[in-house]
Each structure stands twice: as structure tokens, then as C-alpha cells.
Chain A
Amino acid sequence: MRGVFGVLLSVLLSGLLAAPLAAQPDAVGHIVELVPQVWGTPSGENRAALAVDSPVLLDMLVEVAPRANTVMTFYPEGTLQLGGGGQGVQLVVDRARVDAVTGRHDSVLRVLLGRVLGFFSPSTDRDVEITTPSARLGIRGTVVGLEVAAGGTTVVEVLEGEVDLFPLAGGRAVRVLAGFTSVVVPGRLPTPPTRIDPGSWTLTVAADTEPFYLPQEGILPESPVERERSSLDSQGYFPFGVTALPPAP
């Protein structure tokens, strides 16, 4: 009797504990903009080209070709930019759940290769974790960029908020603050955070600005041919057929 009661109790408890973590619908986002080619490989299915409005599914491998780009929504309130480099992108959304009681979202992204820039609305209660071949990132911020090289080296740049960077090789986590970057090489500890170079890719993508003036306005203001004229007037023979005589004494 006690055994039956124990089984019933454990079933009830496990049901109560599991209930708040209800699964989200399969689409974890949608493609909003893309520069071809971008493909999706749903779990157990064949690879197919993605287009604007294509859903991005849980466990789907999203691949962006070299020199291609895509922008997608990431539910509930986030967006991801993939691409921008010469090596393409490979990304999988491993988990996207919402706690039915607290409403807190819990997401895990896996970036296997390439550049990803994530924007997560600060108005949403959300835990985001990103894993790469060399590190695990606990995202505590709202704008984070990362690049995973073919060998697994991960570059993390934090534009807003902060990131806890856990090397998969073990060891202490490094906290990377806004405006700072760190690099994790497989099997090694993260580098100490250093200031982001605004010339790096994520900031320039995020800055979203066009140069106000092009360099043709940056040259020394002058007649376009003045230097050439100056170079021709040796011996007092001025260009344009003008004969110059010495000034009157």
C-alpha cells in the first residue's frame, strides 16, 4: 500500500513540477530579411532553402552561406542577425520554453560557426544561454555579438548588459561587461575582457549608420588642378599659354 502511495505521490509531484515548463509552439522565430542563401534542416528531415516568412523551428539547423545574411525574430521578444562574414553561419535553437507560473522564458541557442548578433528586449523576463564549441555564455544583457571560427574559437562582444562566459575546458567563469570583449580558444581559459574596438563587426552592424560625409569632401579644398598648374610653371612659363614677365621694378 505504501508502495502504491509512493508511486502515486511521485507521479503527482513530477506532474506538478513539470507542468509549468510547457513547450512553446515549434516555431521559435521567423525569417524577416535575408540575402540568399539560407537553409534550414528540421530534425530528421532534409535541408530546404528558407525564405522571408519561413518559420525557424526548434532543433532546426539554420545555415547561412558565406557572404549571405539573415535577420529573424526570436520569440518572445528577441531578434537575431546571422552572417556578415566570409565563413557562413550554423545555428540551432535547442530549447525555447516558458514557465507557465512565472512567465519566465528559458532559451538555449547553439552556435556552431559564424557571426551572430542577438538583441533581447529588456522588457522580457528571460534566461538565454548560448553554447559554442569552446564556451557557454550566460546572457544577462540585451545585445550580444559572437563569432565562432571554424576551429571553435569564440569571440564574444557585449554591447548592452553583461555575459558570464564559462569555458568548456573548465575553470572560473569570466564576466564580460558592456563595451568589452573576450576570446575563448578551445581547451583554454577566456582572455581577460578588453575594450571593444568600434571598428569590429558587431558594433558597426549595430551602429547602423552611414558615414555622414564621403571622403571626396575630405580633401583639402582647392581647385582640382592647382597642384598640376604649380608643377608646370617652372622657369616662369605658366600654363595656359600665358607668358609671364618679371614684375616691374
Chain B
Amino acid sequence: MLLPLLAVLCLGMGFRDAHGQEGATTASNGVTVDPSLAEARVNLVFGIRAYRLGDYAAAAARFEKAAAADPESGTARLWLGFARWRLGQREAARMALESAMEARLSTADAVQAEALLRRLGEEPEGTVPFTGPLAAPGIFHFLERPRAEFRVGLTASADSNPLLLPEGAVAVLPEGTVVTDTPSDTALNLDVRAAFHPFYDRRGWSLGLVFEGDGVRYGDFGVADLTQLRGSVHLAWGADPLAYLPGRLGFTRVPRGGGRTAFLLQGAYTDRRIDGDALERLLQLGATFTVRPCATTATQLDLLFTDREVEAAFAGGAEASGTEWSARASQYIYLGDRSRHLRLGVEAGDRDAGLAFDASHVELELELALPLSARWALQFAVSRREVDYDALESNPLFPFFPGTLANQPREDTLDRWGAALLWEPRPSLRIVARAAHVERQTDSGSATAFFPLDYDRDVASLGVIWLF
């Protein structure tokens, strides 16, 4: 069933080449030749050689040609800025660097551009250009494999239902406050991520060590404040066209490149706390296998094992600790290039815990990633998860009316959709606006009318992310 579908996907869709042109050049109608790539690359390399020899005028002329041949690339403009600066042409240098920042530029190159721009701003007019050793901008990103990278994100959000309460429910907070209406709140979220890469491509293997921290603080409902700390290890084999491999426990960097297959082994330990009190600890192991049968599609298979230890106080006295298995299959369909994709996913899993929590689930996912331009991107995601609990103990009225009103195990349907708009004003800075809706419907048989667990939740947020 799957193979004919893949064949259609592989044969039926066009693809863009390195210049973003449609790659559907056929033998019958000749060749679409765009000399910009060769012209840009040759002039860039010859310019760098001239720069290294100290012939900055010749270098600048080469970089100008390279920039003209590939207007979207900021690399030649960055080098042009350095060459102009060496020539004492400060204003021209500033213009070239600013133009580089507006074009396509790697994070490392952007740091170089920012550093020189800052220097130009600080140096008085007429300063003799620095003539000592200079860290030169990068040339090609395939030489770029960061050993360490950091990310800090700050997000403000409005949450229509942080306590996940059914409409009309009455809730008693720990301090005794009675909430009689579904309460909304605002929140501030701080997340940090530090990733270290001890080695890349050692016989095809790459290692990533990641430490993450995430804290949510609500304005009114401190009982919903959550802190999460996680350490994870990612051992990957293979390369990827976008230089990272995603897995169930996050992503890791790998060498940029192709190859039909890649896989990722992951392990993570997570500690979660609510309002300062321990909530749960998770030990997770994941494995991801990716197959890229052709240019237009890829298949990803994931396995995830979780050993969950939940503090009894947060499970209402029931045993929530236990183990979980889940398997997911995803089909990526690339829409013109690798960063524009549609992902269809199906997941099945089983949770083995106390009787109130024993359950199996099936989830369908659809995700669409749409880069709009060099600096804007839009993403949509929608999913439906159906959870079938195994035992009558899952019924909310079981403690009071076992076998009478509580006459069937609980069944949940969780629908979600979300959208995110990303803006990257500079390579080290991202602004993210998000909106999400979550809706749960619970069927507990006769108990449903007496103890509904349905809820709706809307979250809108605006965040800023720094990468360095």
C-alpha cells in the first residue's frame, strides 16, 4: 500500500535545484543554465585569496561580482565589508555589512558582521584599519560544525484555561480559594537550551549532549507554575540535507549531506516540578530511523519508551507511575524544497500504570511548514488523539459508584490545532507568534453527564529567541 504511494510521490513532483529553480529540466527541451552559482563561487574564492594576500582592492572587486551573481547570499557581502574596511572605506564597509545582515547568512557569519559593525560604530572617523590577525568570515557552511550552541527564549502568553477545567466546574485551589468559573490567566515562559557536540561524523556517528530548562510562571495561578529540567544524549548516524535530525526527544545536529538513511538514538532524564514541588521524573529512550527514498519524500519511524515516576500527591492517590511505549510513523512530503514540507504522522502507544491510568492511544498528526521568504515562515499543525482507558477505575465516578454509574472505562478524544509565524530579523534572533487551541471530550458512559471532563483551552503567545 505504502510503496505505490511513495512511487507516485517520488515520480510525480518537481523539485527545485540549488538556485531555487524548478529542477524539471528535461532532455528534450535542453538545459536551463543559470551561471550565477559558478560565477558567485569562483569570485568569492578568488576574492578570499586576494584578501589573504593583502590585495583588498582586487578582493573587493571580486566580492562585488560574487554578490551581484548571487544576490540572496550574504557571504560575499560580508567579505566585501571586511575588504572595504581594510581599504579605509568605512561607510561602504558599513553598507556592505548591513546588506549582508539582510541577506542569507549563517549564524557564525552574522556574529562576525555584527562585531565589525559594532567596531565601525565605536571607532572614530579616520581610524587606521586594524591590520593584525583577523578572524575571517566563514566560507562554506559545510566547514561549520559548531561544538557548542546556546538558545534563550522568553515568551509571554495569554491562556484561557491554565487549570484545564471543564466549563462550569468548581475548583478548590490548595490555599482554599474556590474557583467557580473557568479561569484565564497570563504567563511568562523562560526556556534555555545548551547543546554540545563532542564529535561529528566519526565513522558516520555524531554525538550531541543537550541540557534544557523551561519555566512557566502564571500571573494568578501559581499552582500551575511548572519548571522542567532535562538532560539528553543524542547519538546519530548519517547526514541530513538540513544538517539536523529530529527525534522524539528533540533534535540534534549532524553533518550537512545526503544519504538514503539515517538513524538517531536518544536518551533523556527529565525532572518536572509544579509550584516548586516535585511532580514527576521521566527516564526516556528513543530511536528514530529515517529513509529518504527520493527527493520529494522521506519516511521516519520512531520508538519511544518512557519510565514515569509520579509523585502520589499529584495523582489523587491513584498509582500513576509506570511505563509507556509508543511507535510513530511519519511521512514527509517536500513541497519544492526540503524546508517546505507536509508531514503526516500516525502514532500508537500503550501506558502501563495503576488501573486508573492504564490506557492505549492512537494519534493522527498533520504538520505543514511553509517558509514565506528568507526571513518569514509559517507553520500549521493539527492532531487528534484518542485514548482508551483499560479499566473501570479510570471512570471519574468509580470511587463513588463502582459498577453502577461508573459502568464503562473512560475514553478521551483530544483535538489540537496550532499555528506559528516566525520572523528572523537577524540570524541570531527570532520572533515567534503562536496560537493554539486544545479541546478534550471525555466519554465516561453514564458518568459523563454527572462528571464531565471536557475542556477547551486557547493559548496565544509572543516570544523572542536568541541564538548564540
Known A-B contacts A222-B416, A225-B226; A234 and B394 likewise in contact (beta carbons under 8 Å): yes
* A124 nearest CB neighbor, chain B only: B42
Contact flags B425-466 to A (C-beta < 8 A → 1, else 0): 001001010111010100000000011110001010100000
Q: Which of A12-20, A41-49, A206-214 contacts B (4 or more CB under 8 A)?
A: A206-214
B25 touches A177 (CB 8 A): yes
In Å, the complex CA distance between A25 and B143 comes to 30
Minimum Cβ distance to chain A for residue B347 (Å): 12
Q: A160-B38, A178-B33, A206-B41 are in contact. List 14 more A-B contacts (CB 8 A).
A: A73-B49, A119-B41, A119-B45, A121-B38, A122-B35, A178-B17, A179-B25, A197-B294, A205-B256, A205-B257, A218-B369, A221-B418, A244-B165, A246-B451
- Specify which chain B residues have a CB less than 8 angstroms from the CB of A71 in the assembled complex: 45, 139-140
Minimum Cβ distance to chain B for residue A201 (Å): 5
A234 touches B204 (CB 8 A): no
- Specify which chain B residues have a CB less than 8 angstroms from the CB of A245 in the assembled complex: 169-172
Tell me the A residues contacting B by CB distance below 8 Å: 30, 32-33, 35, 52-53, 67, 69, 71, 73, 77-79, 81, 84, 86, 119-123, 141-143, 159-162, 175, 177-180, 193, 195-201, 203-226, 228-248
In Å, the complex CA distance between A179 and B316 comes to 62
B231 at the interface (CB under 8 A from A): no
Known A-B contacts A123-B39, A198-B295; A240 and B163 likewise in contact (beta carbons under 8 Å): yes
B18 touches A238 (CB 8 A): no
In Å, the complex CA distance between A201 and B243 comes to 11
In Å, the complex CA distance between A126 and B243 comes to 35
* B434 nearest CB neighbor, chain A only: A221
A33 touches B27 (CB 8 A): no
- Specify which chain B residues have a CB less than 8 angstroms from the CB of A221 in the assembled complex: 381, 418-420, 434-436, 459, 461
B49 touches A217 (CB 8 A): no
Minimum Cβ distance to chain A for residue B262 (Å): 10
Name B313's contact: one of A86, A224, A241, A248 (CB within 8 Å): A241
Name A246's contact: one of B142, B169, B315, B356 (CB within 8 Å): B169
A211 touches B295 (CB 8 A): no
Known A-B contacts A243-B172, A246-B452; A199 and B258 likewise in contact (beta carbons under 8 Å): yes
Name A73's contact: one of B46, B204, B246, B294 (CB within 8 Å): B46
A198 touches B33 (CB 8 A): no
- Specify which chain B residues have a CB less than 8 angstroms from the CB of A159 in the assembled complex: 17-18, 37
- Specify which chain A residues have a CB less than 8 angstroms from the CB of B208 in the assembled complex: none
A223 touches B159 (CB 8 A): yes
- Specify which chain A residues have a CB less than 8 angstroms from the CB of B275 in the assembled complex: 240
Contact flags B50-94 to A (C-beta < 8 A → 1, else 0): 001100000000000000000001010000000000000000000
Q: What are some 6 contacts across the A-B interface (CB < 8 A)?
A: A30-B49, A195-B295, A212-B374, A231-B357, A232-B314, A240-B275
In Å, the complex CA distance between A201 and B419 comes to 32
Known A-B contacts A33-B48, A215-B251, A221-B381; A247 and B418 likewise in contact (beta carbons under 8 Å): no
Name A79's contact: one of B18, B42, B357 (CB within 8 Å): B42
Minimum Cβ distance to chain B for residue A37 (Å): 14
B404 at the interface (CB under 8 A from A): no
Contact-size category for B = 35 or more
B128 at the interface (CB under 8 A from A): no
- Specify which chain B residues have a CB less than 8 angstroms from the CB of A210 in the assembled complex: 104, 106-107, 141, 243, 427
Name A197's contact: one of B274, B295, B418 (CB within 8 Å): B295
Name A69's contact: one of B104, B143, B165, B294 (CB within 8 Å): B143
Name A234's contact: one of B30, B224, B251, B410 (CB within 8 Å): B410
B42 touches A77 (CB 8 A): yes
Which 8 pairs of residues, A with B, have the shortest CB-CB distance? Answer: A237-B316, A247-B168, A142-B38, A221-B434, A221-B418, A200-B258, A240-B223, A122-B35
Known A-B contacts A161-B33, A208-B73; A223 and B216 likewise in contact (beta carbons under 8 Å): yes
A222 touches B459 (CB 8 A): yes
- Specify which chain B residues have a CB less than 8 angstroms from the CB of A86 in the assembled complex: 201, 203-204
B241 touches A204 (CB 8 A): yes
- Specify which chain B residues have a CB less than 8 angstroms from the CB of A219 in the assembled complex: 381
In Å, the complex CA distance between A44 and B224 comes to 76
In Å, the complex CA distance between A139 and B17 comes to 19
Minimum Cβ distance to chain B for residue A48 (Å): 20
B172 touches A242 (CB 8 A): yes
- Pick from A86, A221, A222 the residue with the most CB of B within 10 Å: A221
A236 touches B453 (CB 8 A): yes
